[in-house]
Structures are given as C-alpha cells and as structure tokens.
Amino acid sequence: MKLSKTNYLVYRDCAHNAWMKVHKPEIYHDEPLSVFEQAIIEIGNDVDVRARELFPDGVLIRRGDAAGTADLVAIHTPVLYQPVFETDRYTTACDILVWNGTQGVYDLYEVKASTSGEDRKAKDDLYAHDIAFQALVLRENGVPLGRLNLVRLNGEYVSDGALDLTRLFTREDFTDRVTPILDTVAAEMDAAHDLIQLSALPAPPCSCIYKGRSSQCTTFAYVNPHVPDYSVHDLTRIGTSPKKLKELVDAGILAITDVPDDFDLSLPQRHQVEAAKRRRPHVDLPPLEVFLNEIRYPAAFLDYETFPCALPRFPGYAPFNHVPFQFSMHVVTEPDGDPVHHEFLYVEKACPDVPFVEALKRAIPAEGTVIVWNKPFEKGINAKLAERLPAEQEFLSSVNERVVDLMDVFSGQMVVHPGFRGKTSIKWVLPALVPGLSYKGLAIQEGATASETWNAIVTGELEADEAEQARKNLLTYCGLDSLAMVEIWRALLAIVAAREIREAG
Ligand code: SF4
C-alpha cells in the first residue's frame, strides 16, 4: 500500500489516526464532512485554480495519471498543473511545476489557501514537511528539481475591484527550509509507510487518553470504547493540566460523576463536577445579578451571518474577510416585554456592505445594550465594515461600545449546567436552559451551512424555487439565533428570581 502525502501529514499528527484513516475509513470518516470542512476544501480548490494564472498555459494532469506526467516531464513541458508522481512506496501530486530552461530544472510551487498571519511558525513547519515529501518523491522519480516555493494569499492585499493576482499571492522560496529536513522527512516517510502496512492498530494505545477533548479526533471513541461520552476529558481546561488528567485516568476515574470530592480541581472544574453529580445547575448569583442588572433597555439581541471569502469578492475586501449578508435582531424594551423582531438578508450579487449597515441603522435602537453571543465576532465584523465604509465609522463604533456578550455568563461560570458538558456554545446552552427551543429539525442548524447556503443563492447554483426555500431557511435559522439569546436571558432572569425567593424564604 502506497503512502500518500495526505496520509503522511496525518501520520505526523498522530500515527494511530493515520492507521485508522487507511484501515478503518468508515470510522475515520464516521461523520460526513461538515459543511465547514467541505467549504475549506472548496476554498483550497478555488485558490489553487486562481494561482495557476500566475503560470499560464500549463497542462492540467488528470487525477492519478503518473504515466502521463512522466511523459510530459520527459519533454520538459513548460508548466504542469497537478502533476502526479509515484514510487514503489509513495504517491503525491504537486500543485504547479515550472520548467526553468536556463537551469535545466523544474521549480516546484505549492499553493496554500492561507495567509501568513496567525500560527505562521506552525504553518510554515507543516508546509515545509509537505513540500519535502513532494521533493523526495520527485527526486526518486529522477525529476531535476530547482527551487521549492510556497504560494499563499497575501493578507495585506486589499482588492480595488478586479483581482491583481501578482499582489493577491505571495511567492516564498522555501528551499532553505526544506533542504535541512529532507533526511528527517525521509525517515518519517519510511516509518509511516511501514505503519500503514500493519494489519492491526499499532501499540501502545491511543495517547489522547491523556489529552483534553479538543485534542481528540473522531476515532477516539472507537479506540477507547471504555471511556464514557461525558468524561473527565470534558472537564473545562483539563487539557492545560495534563498531570491531573493523567492522575484521574490512571486511577480508572473516567466518568465525570466519579471524580472524588477531594480531588484537586480548579473552581470552574469543581462547579462542573458538582453540577453533573447533583444533576442540577450551579449558579454564582452575585456576578450573574451584576451582569443582568447592567443590561440597559431597549436591549437588542443581535446575531450576524457572514460568508468568509478566501478570494476577495468586492472592493475593499482582503483575503478571508467576511461578507456580512444577514442579521437578526430581537429588541426588548423592558424585562417582561415581548421582543420585536427585525431581520435583514441580502441575496443580490452585489456587495451587501451598504444595505447591511443601512438596515442595521434602521433597526437598532439608538441607545440600550446590544447583546450578542461571542462578541469578538460581531464587533470584528463592525470594525471591518467601518474600515470599508469610513462614513459609518461613528455609528458602527457606537454599536460596538454598547455590545455585551451573553456567553460571558457561561464562560465566566456564573451558571454551570450539567447539560452544557463543559461547553459554552449556544448550541449546548440553549437546549439545557430552554428545552422547548431547539435547532433540531431546522434545514440550517449552524453558521457554516448558513454561509454556504447564501453563497449558493448569490452564485446562482440554485434554481429559483430552491433559492426561495434557501432564503426562508436562512431567515428561520438566523431568527432563532437571536430569539435563542432572548430566551436564554429570560431563563437567567428566572433563575435569579427563583434564587432570590428561596434565599428570602
Ligand atoms: S484520539 Fe488522539 S491519539 Fe487517538 S487516534 Fe485520535 S488523534 Fe490519535
């Protein structure tokens, strides 16, 4: 069985997982790719195709066509897209090869749909290993190799309309990063190749038993069937206390309800365990009261939906800027009042920035608290809108100044419910606090699907009747997001009222 570059990169993350991917694909891909994951693949494809325009008139190789590639390489075809190379043990495809006639070598270009922003060091290390794998396979195929380059999106580039590809992409020579690691990568490739030939899962067992839930992959439950669904791995921030987690696991304490009362936990972890054991919420009343009392009326519960564009779609946009296409807002004028709903959804091909801000101005009260869930998101969108629409800066800044994050109640451990399972996402909080309201059954249940649905409408992928249904689905989904906040806020008011009555009694 040949080792592909993708499987080698999975192996570098986790040998167990690479084995599972090859031998138990039905478990590795247990859940179909999420819309978010599919979108990442599509974004990668789009960026790859646009990057080819930097090296025009190339020959696109059919998937898996190593023989065709070899023929074209032999005659020094000037530009090859997606050339395929194989050896006895390995297989890989490159993004772009460009013949350098002066040197008599092929220069390699690996295209990545990312900018050099966050996590640059980790990404560059990953990309160097990615390119090294290709270089070793090409070398074994006798391809004379020149410079090894990385092409990625320029995060500083701001579109003024038509994309300027020479500024949209950066080209970086990675040869000096890749050359020193070639021997190490060759040894890793050998080990990874040998591992995937094994007929049984390699020992020792999966090491994520000692890591927090967020580090575990989809195969964890298969490899560790004895670990309950809600386990010590779900303890809040346990990933940063590996000693504690190891102590619990080594003592055979796996269910969160089995953690001894005298075990050394942080206060938030203690609250989580107590809530799970007692099967009722832990409430830290004083800060919750302060939080709720600071809400000023009319209170606007506001939620945005956006589409992250890797390739800037409109003037003023940089790579990966989000296009704000929808909002839903429920306005409550007093604690017992019924919310008034406002909504906006833009499904034209043009840029929604101006209509979005105009609709927001019409709907949002001039004063009072603006309540969102995960405030860096909505505030960040407003800040970017203000950059693109300087005339609206004052308005958008004033909105941001009034923003309060309802999620703070849960990340700040003011209310800890056993049903949250250590999470603070609205998708976990809503069913626990407001059982009658749910995303279940909706055609759109999370933001990535909303983004892709909008994109399908505006790019004309849907027939008219499908587009109309999709539009309704978007309105329903976003409407529930802001209504969910209203109902969670009401549930919090009820919790406070009940406690006050109990304490007064
Ligand atoms: S849970 Fe962790 S150690 Fe286990 S297979 Fe997944 S990534 Fe690897």
Q: Is the beta carbon of 16 within 6 A of some atom in ligand 1?
A: yes
- Å from CA of 490 to ligand 1 middle: 40
Q: Find where tokens 């308005």 sit.
A: 395
Contact criterion met (CB below 8 Å) for 339 and 463: no
Q: Residue 272, SS3?
A: helix
Tell how strand 90-93 and strand 59-60 pair up. unpaired
Kindly state the helix (H) or strand (E) to which residue 80 belongs, with its residue range. strand 79-81
Q: Is the beta carbon of 218 within 6 A of some atom in ligand 1?
A: no
Ligand 1: atom nearest CA of 207 is: 3
Contact criterion met (CB below 8 Å) for 157 and 181: no
Q: Is the beta carbon of 244 within 6 A of some atom in ligand 1?
A: no
Residue to substitute in 11, 218, 220, 234 for testing ligand 1 pocket (most ligand atoms within 8 angstroms of CB) = 220
Q: Is the beta carbon of 220 within 6 A of some atom in ligand 1?
A: yes
Return the bridge partners of 80, or none.
59, 97
Residue to substitute in 12, 13, 16 for testing ligand 1 pocket (most ligand atoms within 8 angstroms of CB) = 16
Q: Is the beta carbon of 17 within 6 A of some atom in ligand 1?
A: yes
Q: Residue 331, SS3?
A: strand
pLDDT at 32: 61
pLDDT at 64: 95
Contact criterion met (CB below 8 Å) for 499 and 285: yes
Q: Is the beta carbon of 10 within 6 A of some atom in ligand 1?
A: no
Q: Name residues whose C-beta falls within 8 Å of residue 148's C-beta, 6 or more positions apart in sequence.
A: 107, 108, 110, 131, 135, 173, 174, 175, 178
Indicate the pTM of the whole model: 0.87
Tell how strand 105-112 and strand 84-86 pair up. unpaired
Q: Residue 328, SS3?
A: strand
Tell me the three-class secondary structure of 91-151, residue by residue.
EEECCEEEEECCCCEEEEEEEECCCCCCCHHHHHHHHHHHHHHHHHHHHHCCCCEEEEEEE
Other beta carbons within 10 angstroms of residue 87's beta carbon come to: 16
Q: Is the beta carbon of 216 within 6 A of some atom in ligand 1?
A: yes
Contact criterion met (CB below 8 Å) for 47 and 153: yes
Cis status, amide bond into 204, omega within 30 of 0:
yes
Q: Residue 5, SS3?
A: helix
- Å from CA of 213 to ligand 1 middle: 10
Distance CA 505, CA 485 (A): 30
Distance CA 11, CA 126 (A): 12
pLDDT at 206: 74
pLDDT at 36: 57
Q: Name the residue ranges covered by the structural domains of the chain.
A: 3-197, 207-265, 287-504
pLDDT at 35: 58
CATH 3.30.420 fits 287-504, yes or no: yes
Cis status, amide bond into 298, omega within 30 of 0:
yes
Q: Is the beta carbon of 208 within 6 A of some atom in ligand 1?
A: yes
- Å from CA of 24 to ligand 1 middle: 14
Q: Is the beta carbon of 207 within 6 A of some atom in ligand 1?
A: yes
Q: Name residues whose C-beta falls within 8 Å of residue 119's C-beta, 6 or more positions apart in sequence.
A: none
Distance CA 198, CA 15 (A): 12
Positive/negative CA dihedral, 391, 394, 399, 400: positive
Q: Is the beta carbon of 219 within 6 A of some atom in ligand 1?
A: yes
How many CA atoms, within 13 angstroms, populate the side-chain half-sphere of residue 134? 29
pLDDT at 218: 78
> What pLDDT tens digit does each residue of the chain (505 aa) get?
999 999 999 999 989 889 999 999 888 876 665 555 676 677 778 899 999 999 999 999 999 999 999 999 999 999 999 999 999 999 999 999 999 999 999 999 999 988 877 788 899 999 999 999 999 999 999 999 999 999 999 999 999 988 999 999 999 999 999 999 999 999 999 999 999 999 988 776 677 899 998 888 878 888 888 999 899 999 988 989 899 999 999 999 999 999 999 999 998 899 999 999 999 899 999 999 999 999 999 999 999 999 988 899 999 999 989 999 999 999 999 888 899 999 999 999 999 999 999 999 999 999 999 999 999 999 999 999 999 999 999 999 999 999 999 999 999 999 999 999 888 999 899 999 999 898 888 999 888 899 999 999 999 999 999 999 999 999 999 999 999 999 999 999 999 998 776 666 5
Which of 300, 477, 284, 283 minimizes the C-alpha distance to 404?
300
Contact criterion met (CB below 8 Å) for 340 and 362: no
Ligand 1: atom nearest CA of 20 is: 5
Question: Whats the size of the chain, residue-wise?
Answer: 505
Residue to substitute in 219, 227, 233 for testing ligand 1 pocket (most ligand atoms within 8 angstroms of CB) = 219
Q: Is the beta carbon of 14 within 6 A of some atom in ligand 1?
A: yes
- Å from CA of 206 to ligand 1 middle: 6
Distance CA 87, CA 353 (A): 51
Other beta carbons within 10 angstroms of residue 128's beta carbon come to: 22
Name the residue at shortest CA distance from atom 6 of ligand 1.
217
Kindly state the helix (H) or strand (E) to which residue 189 belongs, with its residue range. helix 182-197
CATH 3.90.320 fits 3-197, yes or no: yes
Q: Is the beta carbon of 206 within 6 A of some atom in ligand 1?
A: yes
Distance CA 409, CA 492 (A): 9
Positive/negative CA dihedral, 5, 38, 158, 95: positive
- Å from CA of 209 to ligand 1 middle: 8
Q: Is the beta carbon of 217 within 6 A of some atom in ligand 1?
A: yes
Q: CB burial class (10 A; 0-12, 13-18, 19+) of residue 276?
A: buried
